[in-house]
Amino acid sequence: MLYQTIDILGTVAFAISGVLVAMEKRLDLFGVLIIAFVTAIGGGTLRDLLIGNTPVVWMRDLTYVTTIFIAVVFAIIFASQLKYLRKSLFLFDTIGIGLYTMVGIEKGLQANLSPIMCVALGTMTACFGGVTRDILCNEIPVIFRKEIYATACILGGASYFLLLLLPIPASYAYLTAIFVVIVLRLLAVKFGISLPNIYKKTS
């Protein structure tokens, strides 16, 4: 029940982030819907294909498609309340990567993958939808910039397996790992923490 709830919440967060980007780019209604859809299911689709879980989950369960439609309608109706698009986009995108990192890790565990592969799968689940969204909207994906993004997913996913070594319920470790991803991303942006730039400044 917890896993499915987290999955649906992640779908909502990423669908709304897709709507915000599409509206910022002034796409038509169909464009908004497509961008929301690929943002919400892009990472999950790649994940399922990699582990051979086909047909992919959103094709087998219309709950995801319905959820995306509802999220799109919600975001459009309350567009005026979301007038600070960049801040809203950042918030929903950050929540989305936190939730989807753990969804991907859980799928990896179900496929009997090693912890390292589970973290990799969780990171792909969290990031690939946003990468697809940004490419379609002619933006350089956040994951390819120097911002802390995929790194937060990796550290949060690793924290989950470390927490499982402690005498605490697995559900607590699961929720804490989500919190770690979100907080790391928020702190990195707030304090300007980023990965080193490999390019030297030229005079």
Is 114 inside any structural domain? yes
Is 129 inside any structural domain? yes
Is 25 inside any structural domain? yes
Q: Which residues contact 71 (CB under 8 A, 6 or more apart)?
A: 11, 12, 15, 16, 19, 36, 40
Is 164 inside any structural domain? no
Look up the domain containing 93 and give its range. 2-139
Is 50 inside any structural domain? yes
Is 155 inside any structural domain? no
In tens digits, the chain (203 residues) has pLDDT values of: 677 889 999 999 999 999 989 998 999 999 999 999 999 999 999 999 999 999 999 999 999 999 999 999 998 888 777 666 667 778 889 999 999 999 999 999 999 999 999 999 999 999 999 999 999 999 988 888 767 899 999 999 999 999 999 999 999 999 999 999 999 999 998 888 887 766 665 54
Number of structural domains in the chain: 1
Tens digit of each residue's pLDDT (9 = 90 or more) over 92-105:
899 999 999 999 99
The CA R_g of the chain, rounded to the nearest whole Å, is 17
